[in-house]
Structure 1
């Protein structure tokens, strides 16, 4: 992975990514909460309600995401928030 970002200092971004890797990816925890979010059950819910049921209609992304995830448990919604933070 390239760490060169021109004149921009990428140190804080790389530190945040390393923290996420340790806390969430390797530890199944989270950077936004003390809960364990990165679990197979939460990922399966996201696959079922978001990936396999795309909302191709009109509307803004966050509005459609909220509707798609309405039936899922809070931990899966928090996982989506963490995924968006990571992006």
Structure 2
């Protein structure tokens, strides 16, 4: 499990971008109590999809298109 800062570091996304994806329902972190506060923990399987979405966002695509392209790449990986 990854905290939000670690997920951001591994994917190249900002914490704000991860919050946005969470708000849109793309990410569903597990919330854990840690020293009397809630901490989000993200599954490691989130790294690749988020990395792809951010890659496409950096290429100038909208969030919707970046999400669709990332989903397509994950669902049908290319041999090349």
TM-score (ref. length: structure 2): 0.30
Higher strand content, 1 or 2: 2
Q: Structure with the greater relative contact order (CA < 8 A, sep ≥ 6): 1 or 2?
A: 2
TM-score (ref. length: structure 1): 0.28
| Structure with larger Rg | 1
